[in-house]
Amino acid sequence: MRQFPLEMHHMAPGRVVEWRLRSTAAEACGPDDAADRQASFNQDKHFTVAEESRADGDPIASWVAVTFEVAGALDEDALTRSLLAFVQRHEVLRCEFRRLAGELACAPIAPDELALDSVPVTAFETSGALKHFLVERFKRSIDTLSWPLFTMGAVLREDSATVYLAFDHIVCDGLSMPVVVNDVQSVYEALCRGEEHVVEPAPSYLDFAEEQRGRYLSIDATDERLDNWKAFIARGGGEFFPRFPLELGVEPGRMYPIVSEASQLLDAGEAEVFEKACLAVDGKPFMGLLAAVAVCLREAGGPGVYRGFLPVSERGRSGWSDSVGWFVNTMPIEFDASPGRDFAQVVAAVRAGFSEMLEHIDVPFVRAWQLLAPEEFGARSWPYPVNFFSYIDMRRCPGAERHEDWRPSTHVWSASANGTCSWFQRDRDGLHMNSMYVDTPVARRTMDDFQEALRLTVREIARYGSLRRPIALTAPRRPVRTPLDVAAYGRRA
């Protein structure tokens, strides 16, 4: 399972069917009868930005989608039942969000008060027309301020189908996507075998949100649990956000259209060797990759000390691994990658920085932002290009043993940005990178050079177990990045 732009998907055309969710309770007595619960810090900030941008006539739009394959002719009734069971299982998907007395409340609809209607859409004769429809469909149907906060459908053919689900970020994160695939496919296959299925509620993200708010809503800027954030800010010259250290050609206060690219850094064999090289210096693969990123940024003119944000999953702390929700805390990480340090020394610095970060992981990012950078907290986006690194080993996600059969993929889209974000995924076929960044001439040159240097650097580590020479980003060469092989994740047209 890997992440790449939906436009890159090798999806054969076919007949599109969608499933529309509705509340039978709302039809009977109106939505106000449901009991309200409090949203999480992440959800509150996300919803507030949507409200403010909508009021100004400049709505901020984004979505997270997942697609996967079903072999053989689709049993539409079985998929309908499976999709309904999936929504019933995860409470956050059954929530309507609304502002009450300043607080963001969410009112969950009872599982037995939901219905799912199958709606024929149209048939497409070309892959290009199909993908254009899906991109536009997700843009129009995903609205932070309107329930339901996701859309579901499938592309049907005689001998296969591609199922798709697209979500607003307010109800999910990247690690929710493997859960989606595993839940829907497992129930669908069981129903096709003639087995009955009883919906078992997953641990609810709403419980997680309420527990988190209970611990941190009452703290103020003097709380000692914010000391690590304060020290990080002080070392960064008073800035809450760590800047992306390379030039992207952006103007302050301006948002830009986005370029989204995906490429392969290492194939399966190279990724195995790279992992061994990391283990040999007492590091994990993500530590070795982050060390390589730091060295490449430094060689391009960035500082010797790496400072960035690293999203960390909070699923493992209390058994949320099979739940859908926004279980992500964004944390600051800092380590020394100065010239003259070899690979082992940089990895050791990453390991130390990561260990320090984990000691303070409990403080929610949004709460720290609100208390320590209140002026910037009122903005709708991060104030300038921010250094951001994300890594997921998809081989360890729920259902990973069936990914070869299901061929799942994740797709992220946003209407605009003022910086860059890079996501790295490891799967059975290697190490892959998806970068989204501002569409400026300077950013295109910068990111082309950076991605090429990173590819050469990780291959150098995989080949020699070390950095034998610095990889210059300004060398006069054409990038030779390996295009991401996405053909295996969908049927060719």
- Residue 216, in any domain of the structure: no
Query: What are the pLDDT digits (tens) for 28-50?
Result: 554 454 568 999 999 999 999 99
Pick from 209, 240, 258: which residue ends a domain?
209
Do 461 and 348 belong together in one domain?
A: yes
Per cent of the chain over pLDDT 90 is 85
Using pLDDT thresholds of 50, 70 and 90, give the confidence band for residue 468: low
In this prediction, residue 479 has a pLDDT band, given cuts at 50, 70 and 90, of: very low
Mean pLDDT taken over the chain: 92
Same-domain status, 179 and 271: no
CATH of the domain at 109: 3.30.559.10
Do residues 262 and 484 make contact, with C-beta atoms less than 8 angstroms apart?
yes
| Each residue's pLDDT tens digit, 388-417 | 999 999 999 999 999 999 999 999 999 999
- Statement to judge: residues 159 and 84 lie in one domain: yes
Nearest to 217 by CA among 49, 48, 103, 323: 103
Kindly report the CATH number assigned to the domain that includes residue 482: 3.30.559.30
Give 469's DSSP letter.
S
pLDDT at residue number 488: 47
Same domain assignment for residues 143 and 241? no
Domain's final residue, options 149, 178, 209 = 209
Please say whether the beta carbons of 291 and 337 come within 8 A.
Answer: yes
Cα(387)–Cα(373) distance, rounded to whole angstroms? 17
Q: Do 177 and 244 belong to one domain?
A: no
Structural domain boundaries, residue 385: 221-489
Q: In this structure, are 202 and 239 located in the same domain?
A: no
* Domain match, 195 and 228 both: no
Number of domains within the chain: 2
User: Tell me, what DSSP letter sits at residue 481?
Assistant: P
Q: How far apart are CA 284 and CA 253, in angstroms?
A: 38
pTM for the model stands at 0.93
